[in-house]
Structure 1
Amino acid sequence: MRIAAVASLVLSLLTGLNDPIGHAYENPVSSGFADSFADPAVIRGLDGYWYAYGTSDPLREGEGTHHRLPIARSTDLVSWTYVGDAFGEDNLPPYAAPGSLLWAPDIRYLDGRYVMYFTVTNTTSSPHEWDYSIGAATAPTPTGPWTHLSAPVVAPRPSGDSYWNTIDPAQFTDVDGRKYLYFGGFFGGLWVTELSPDGLHTVGQPTQVAIDNKFEGSYVVRHDGYYYLLASSANCCAGPTTGYSVLAGRATSPRGPFTDREGLPLLASRAGGTPVLDQNGDRWIGTGHHAQVTDLAGQDWMAYHAIDRDDPFLDGPYGINERPMLLDRLDWIDGWPMVRAGAGPSEQSDEAPVTRGFVSLTDDLSGWRGDGWTVQDGYVRHSDGGGALTARRGVGGDIRAETDLRLEGPSAGLRVGRATVTVSADGLTITAGGARRTAALPGGEAASAGLATWHNLAVTVKGRTITAEVSSSRLGDPQATLRLHSPVPLSGGFALVSEGVADFDNVSVARLARPVTRPAPVPRPGRLIDADEFDGEESDGAGGDWQWVREDPDARVTGGVLRWPLQNADLVGTANTASVLLRDAPEGDYVVETKVTLDLGDDTVRNYQQAGLVAYASDDDFARLCQVAIWNTRQVEYGRELPFAGRLSYGGNIVGPPARTTWLRLAHHVDPANGEHEFRAASSRDGRTWTWGGVWTFPKDTVPRIGLVAHGGAQPAVDAEFDYLRVYRTR
């Protein structure tokens, strides 16, 4: 986007603030050009526009034609326009089998060109229908023209008679300049492989970073010295019961090991994962497969897809899932990313990304002064010798300044108040009040040559602390980061500075975003209003206020617990052979809790043994929160079954990792706007530290009861032991 600096200056004098601010927008942000835009990837192009890339589905209901990696463009990250597809109908990679689909793009700017990675669902390497691989294409601009590589970046990976899920690529460049590619999915797990310097070929052997059967859609960023692996979990595409969500782990190396907030590895059978994004009971479910971007004020935002629970399919029921693109604020609280501080997806937002600052410069020198500066080809160039181009408006307070920069001379950068930040072959340097610090750029002599292509320089001033970083794509993987505490105040002028020939583009100064530092509130149990401690005399089954659906004679109260052998039965589907132990729920808001011990072992396949809580309206309308064996993993799954369009739909949402003894909660809330029953799930490994997950809803005209289940398989035989069931009034 080319905006005259004089217009920006006039606007800034009128408002003195970033633009836009306080501007509401509605999700999904892709509605202006698409009904569905799944697996979004986002980047800011060198032309100043933001570009989004989606998986290969039809864009509109009734269209019926798959777009091969559609592309949209925006000036503000909120209003998007379709600008074409990356590839035409007959333009597949040379190694792709006819009819192959292209999924889940990832976009980067590397060494002077755009590189797009994507999943190729079927290659010519075998007759197998789903021998996935990772492909790539390069282009000089964000819209192409794109040129396929002649071979996959990651070839199909055989596993017996099948192939591992070599899907969902995400590229990352480390501070030492090494490039990596993360990929993988439920069947086979998540992996990382080093890439060649050009980012187009693998180097060495890959490393597994997350267990199979739990994660896909990986995305890695570096933040405050840690590497954060964010990935989606549960099912992406179960229509009205899609429980997709985003979880995170972090590490001190791009190869891991990644652990969650409680220190639990993502590679363990009881795999960890700290929630980043979960459905919250509003319109949106299945929130996941995301990208991360930073606006000009330094605020991070997450672009992701979701499903409207009332309109889950693109055309007829049980066809293509309709997954539009949403955008929401991403906060960092106590060292962990959380969408809207943990509040989850929004239907509409009263704030928008800052995509224009109160000082800006693109291709118009109005409002600036300095000799030796010219405009050419849409950017500003400084000629030989030393010089500065100074904005006529000064800057003060907490701000973030940015420029895209390439240099032929010795150095170039920004002067912000009394601090100067420069980039050179020696590295990234901050000088302020006689203090000076330098951080090396990766690559040695190659770094000097690399600076001849565009890089982004971002400078943040907060009080007297100045932070600078250099990156290629502004996507959370800076190649150098440096911080200095200035001995002098930093308010003053703003200028571009250069020794020798240098080019500047997309220059801006914006008020620094104020970070959200407190998480959104979670349900808290208050006064105890109902309980069964299972501490009475030994008896067959449970008495008192309990009611059975298909009574199980093997369930017994003994030794202070309800001991219930797992049944070789289930509730999912039309058979409905499992027993359910229920009691009436109180009116209003409450929290129901149980403590269940279940020895599911580790690593071995024991599908789908489980025990836990249930919110039950009928055999075909329930939400089930259990610790469960899913293949080789042990997870806390929050599943939902309901009737939809003449069939039963089932899907799951993932909460925290289980222990042998796991505490489970369902927090019930009645939505005053529509009367719906909202049940939010939580789990704990010690009864004190709780992980809160997603929300499933029941219509207002239902009367869900609450209770316990223990089923999913009888081999090997194992008992579930429930210590109690307690119901609290919500505080």
Structure 2
Amino acid sequence: MKRFRLAAVLAAALLTLLPTTAQAAEYPDPVPLTGQQIIHDPTVIRLKSGAYAAYSTGGIIGARLSEDRTHWDDAGNAFTEPPSWWYEYNDTGDPWAPDISYRAGRYWLYYAVSSWGTNHSAIGVATSRSGVPGTWTDHGKVLTSETTDTWNAIDPAVTRADGKLWMAFGSYWTGIRMVELDPATGKAVPGTTVHHLATRPDAPYAVEGPYIVRHGRFYYLFASYDACCAGVNSTYKIRVGRSTSITGPYVDSTGTPLLQGGGDLLLEGHGRYIGTGGQSVFKDDGKDWLAYHYYDAQDEGTPKLGLNRLSWSKEGWPQVV
């Protein structure tokens, strides 16, 4: 009888653990990486050479290189020195949140310059034939915002749709916006409409860092919600919505518009991986990969690179693998 009672107790204990295990399975850990993993707001691409490049906030756009997507080496910075116009937006020439893409035989690197807590901001662009650090030529401002604007020109992310080039951007200040770019210059079309894609119901409208991906007949808007940049106290998380039109309206799986605070939760902090966000998506061998930073609770909250493959449900929604 004691054996049966013990078995019953163990079975009951196991059942109490199942919800926790199932919950943990919803947020898988990032794939194991080696080398230089410290990074913030990563944008990743597989270069034509076959190597991988990651650019990030920090330094003069910090750079990491990898031959296998697993081991990463510090590769210095995109630029050897800040372009002079950056100092119009902060005293240190400090750039934020880059976005790398490839088109028309060149790599295009978009980035933001601003100061903490203001929307006196600008997005710039540089190009390179190889995409590696030290080869970038800066082309100046793409789009600017001032304290009189209700949006913030930081956190750029470029995508092509319907034969046009678009840039999503935004942080707080009523959330995520989008403008059309001139493919020849990579800069905002003069007089372009500033579309509104996502916001939160209440100030300070804590949503930023957009990234848009086409899958099937939908465009998917990934964004970082809540607070970054506070180490283990960060509450960053990644949410997503979709639209059949690049300019929206974007809704989540319940039909709630992202302009009304909607957004399916894709990934949030769990275990040692705190404040997951600053995300981007890149393709490798036909598969989608999510790149983001997290704050490592086992390393004093140091920001590190997270990589997970994205799969897609039968209903067409992204899932972190």
| Range class of TM-score, shorter chain | 0.7 to 0.9
The answer (yes or no) to whether the contact 1:291–1:302 under 8 Å persists in 2 is yes
Which SS does the other structure have where 1:237 is aligned? coil
CA distance in 2, matches of 1:186, 1:272: 15
The answer (yes or no) to whether the contact 2:118–2:147 under 8 Å persists in 1 is no
AA aligned to 2:319 is: M
Q: How does 1:247-326 map to 2 (within 5 A)?
A: 247-268=239-260, 271-280=261-270, 282-296=271-285, 298-313=286-301, 322-326=302-306
Q: Cα distance, 1:95 vs. partner?
A: 5.0
Pick from 127, 138, 149 the counterpart of residue 148 of structure 1: 138
Pick from 17, 42, 45 the counterpart of residue 43 of structure 1: 45
Q: How does 1:237-256 map to 2 (within 5 A)?
A: 237-256=229-248
Which SS does the other structure have where 1:219 is aligned? strand
Pick from 165, 177, 180 the counterpart of residue 191 of structure 1: 177
CA distance in 2, matches of 1:312, 1:146: 34
CA distance in 1, matches of 2:74, 2:184: 29
Structure 2: gaps of 5 or more residues: 1-28
**2:82 corresponds to 1:91:** yes
CA distance in 2, matches of 1:193, 1:93: 25
Over 3 Å counting, the alpha-carbon distance change for 1:129 and 1:330 in structure 2 is closer
Instruction: Tell me which protein shows more helix as a share of its residues.
Output: 2
Over 3 Å counting, the alpha-carbon distance change for 1:70 and 1:294 in structure 2 is same
Over 3 Å counting, the alpha-carbon distance change for 1:26 and 1:205 in structure 2 is closer
CA distance in 2, matches of 1:118, 1:142: 14
The answer (yes or no) to whether the contact 2:175–2:206 under 8 Å persists in 1 is yes
AA aligned to 1:246 is: I
Q: Cα distance, 1:96 vs. partner?
A: 3.3
CA distance in 1, matches of 2:160, 2:217: 14
Q: Cα distance, 1:138 vs. partner?
A: 1.1
Pick from 88, 106, 109 the counterpart of residue 102 of structure 2: 109
Q: How does 1:571-590 map to 2 (within 5 A)?
A: none
What is the total number of aligned residue pairs between the two structures? 282
- Aligned match of 1:118: 111
Deviations 1:235-292 (A, max 9, x none): 1123222221110110011100000000010112xx1101111223x21110111121
The answer (yes or no) to whether the contact 1:240–1:310 under 8 Å persists in 2 is no
Over 3 Å counting, the alpha-carbon distance change for 1:311 and 1:260 in structure 2 is same
Q: Cα distance, 1:167 vs. partner?
A: 1.1
With normalisation by structure 2, the TM-score equals 0.82
**2:308 corresponds to 1:328:** yes
CA distance in 2, matches of 1:120, 1:238: 20
AA aligned to 1:148 is: D
Q: How does 1:636-655 map to 2 (within 5 A)?
A: none
CA distance in 2, matches of 1:215, 1:242: 14
**2:62 corresponds to 1:70:** yes
The answer (yes or no) to whether the contact 1:236–1:242 under 8 Å persists in 2 is yes
Which SS does the other structure have where 2:93 is aligned? coil
The answer (yes or no) to whether the contact 1:110–1:199 under 8 Å persists in 2 is no
CA distance in 2, matches of 1:214, 1:256: 19
Deviations 1:290-327 (A, max 9, x none): 1212332x3322111001124344xxxxxxxx211011
CA distance in 2, matches of 1:110, 1:164: 28
CA distance in 1, matches of 2:263, 2:282: 22
Q: Which runs of 4+ in 1 moved over 6 A?
A: none
CA distance in 1, matches of 2:224, 2:237: 5
- Aligned match of 1:227: 219
Q: Quick one: percent identity of the two aligned structures?
A: 37
Structure 1: gaps of 5 or more residues: 1-24, 57-66, 123-127, 314-321, 341-731
**2:319 corresponds to 1:338:** yes
**2:172 corresponds to 1:169:** no
Which SS does the other structure have where 2:232 is aligned? helix
- Aligned match of 1:61: none
CA distance in 2, matches of 1:116, 1:102: 12
Over 3 Å counting, the alpha-carbon distance change for 1:103 and 1:28 in structure 2 is farther
Q: How does 1:473-484 map to 2 (within 5 A)?
A: none
The answer (yes or no) to whether the contact 1:113–1:139 under 8 Å persists in 2 is yes
The answer (yes or no) to whether the contact 1:93–1:148 under 8 Å persists in 2 is no
Which SS does the other structure have where 1:323 is aligned? strand
CA distance in 1, matches of 2:173, 2:118: 15
The answer (yes or no) to whether the contact 2:251–2:263 under 8 Å persists in 1 is yes
Q: Cα distance, 1:91 vs. partner?
A: 2.3
Pick from 51, 54, 65 the counterpart of residue 52 of structure 1: 54
With normalisation by structure 1, the TM-score equals 0.37
CA distance in 1, matches of 2:311, 2:167: 25
Deviations 1:47-89 (A, max 9, x none): 1111111111xxxxxxxxxx2111111122111122221112x
Q: How does 1:10-21 map to 2 (within 5 A)?
A: none
CA distance in 1, matches of 2:252, 2:287: 23
Over 3 Å counting, the alpha-carbon distance change for 1:41 and 1:199 in structure 2 is farther
The answer (yes or no) to whether the contact 1:51–1:72 under 8 Å persists in 2 is yes
CA distance in 2, matches of 1:278, 1:233: 10
